Amino acid sequence: MVKPRDYLPSDIKRLFAFSGNQCSKPNCKRPVIAEDGVTVVGKVCHIEAASSKGPRYRKKMTDEERRKYDNLILLCDEHHSIIDNKKNEGEYSVELLLEWKKDHISENNGSEIDVADETVYSAINDIVSAIGRLEKNTEKIYVQVSEISQDLKRIKGISDLDQMKSLVEDYKREVASGESEFKKLFDKIRHFSSNIDEIKQELSEKLADGGFEDDTDWATELKEAYTKRLLKNDVSLAQQKIHAFLLVKVQMAFRRHVLSAIRKGDSQDEIKILIDNQVISRVGSYLGYDNVLDLYEDDINGMLYFLTGNCHVKWT
């Protein structure tokens, strides 16, 4: 089966013969054969694209027509790249390229150059080699993208919102089955419930480190309320998993958006706005319209101070 780049040597020889050894783009004097008379530096280009992804592609054109002389133009490397850029398709029409070719041949009709067969086959081999490299690189890229995609799936699994929806559905099924009862602490909850700092500090001291000692009473009240809610005996495994998911999001959002601002010395008002926008609101967006555990802003604030109390969030 004929392919669009199965060029006939006679067509390639004809292109070079009437090129004047110059690019077909008007006023471009770049050579298509190097000064050694052998090395091909020009590019054989399709006027109407060889594939559907290329510029100026015409579906009804046959591959036999695509590979023939009438659909080919000889250009320098730069102008080949320009006309083959899909973004430039509107600027470089079929009609314009045919006009370039016609005018260029007319200018050089009386000065036909002798083109060695070696040059012709060198040009064809360059094209075939370039296609081979492209196909090989495309395959490598495809493999790499597939591997990266699999890695992302392993690392992330599913999107955050989908993960939250899945946890909520698990909880609903748990309730429907009548098995919504406390059995043991989920590992992640056990982790967040443990103080990970060797130096024991009260919540008030940790807030004072960041300049927020005035918030101690309010923070302590929210922390204790959330701790009681999280660790009470009727919190089922499915509920714990939802809490664990949200606690991770609070911890990550605080570290990513707030901690650097505290360390930069931003004002308390600026930091409180960051906490509201980047922690409380962001985490609250995961709760969805059905909010099966009835968690609200004060609960998310409680999560922040619960994590602070056990040193999973630091304010300095």
pLDDT tens-digit profile of 4-47? 888 888 888 888 888 888 999 999 999 988 888 878 888 899 99
Q: Give the model's pLDDT for residue 131.
A: 54
Of 267, 229, 221, the C-alpha closest to 247 is 229
Higher pLDDT, 174 or 86: 86
pLDDT at residue 129 tops 50: yes
Residue with tokens 């309320």: 225
pLDDT at residue 155 tops 50: no
pLDDT at residue 208 tops 70: yes
Query: Which of 25-29, 157-161, 286-290 tops mean pLDDT?
Result: 25-29
Q: Give the model's pLDDT for residue 183.
A: 57
Q: Give the model's pLDDT for residue 12.
A: 83
Identity at 27, one-letter amino acid code: N
Residue pair 109/1 in contact (Cβ under 8 Å)? The answer is no
Q: Give the model's pLDDT for residue 47.
A: 94
Query: Which of 37-41, 49-53, 93-97, 291-295 tops mean pLDDT?
Result: 93-97
With H, G, I as helix, E, B as strand and everything else as coil, classify residue 303. helix
Q: How large is the average pLDDT for residues 161-165?
A: 76
CA pair distance 17, 4, nearest whole angstrom: 22
Higher pLDDT, 246 or 126: 246
pLDDT at residue 108 tops 90: no
Residue with tokens 């001291």: 205
**How buried is residue 314: exposed, middle or buried, by Cβ count under 10 Å (0-12/13-18/19+)?**
middle
Of 81, 86, 76, the C-alpha closest to 26 is 76
For a pLDDT cut of 90, what percent of the chain falls above it?
Answer: 27
What are the DSSP E strand ranges found in 188-297? none
Could you tell me which residues come within 8 angstroms of residue 220 by beta carbon, excluding any fewer than 6 positions away? 203, 204, 305
CA pair distance 21, 30, nearest whole angstrom: 8
What are the DSSP E strand ranges found in 29-123? 43-46, 72-75
At 71, the pLDDT band (50, 70, 90 cuts) reads very high
Q: Give the model's pLDDT for residue 154.
A: 47
CA pair distance 26, 54, nearest whole angstrom: 23
Output the pTM of the full model: 0.48
At 205, the pLDDT band (50, 70, 90 cuts) reads confident
Show contacts of 224-230: CB within 8 Å, 24+ apart.
Answer: 225/298, 225/299, 225/302, 226/299, 226/302, 226/303, 226/305, 226/306, 227/302, 227/306, 227/309, 229/299, 229/302, 230/189, 230/193, 230/306
- Alpha-carbon 258 to chain mean position: 26
Q: Which residues of 264-285 are buried (b: 16+ CB within 10 A; e: fewer)?
A: eeeeeeebeebbeebbbebbbe
Residue 40 backbone phi and psi in degrees, to 5: -85, 120
Q: What is the DSSP letter of 44?
A: E
Mean pLDDT of the chain: 80
CA pair distance 240, 190, nearest whole angstrom: 10
* Rounded alpha-carbon distances, angstroms, from residue 118 to 20, 35, 38, 40, 115: 18, 15, 7, 10, 8
Q: Give the model's pLDDT for residue 156.
A: 47
For the ranges 109-123, 143-157, 286-300, the lowest mean pLDDT is seen at 143-157
Q: Give the model's pLDDT for residue 239.
A: 85
pLDDT at residue 158 tops 50: yes
Residues β-bridged to residue 33: 40
pLDDT at residue 210 tops 60: yes
Q: Give the model's pLDDT for residue 113.
A: 63
For a pLDDT cut of 70, what percent of the chain falls above it?
Answer: 78
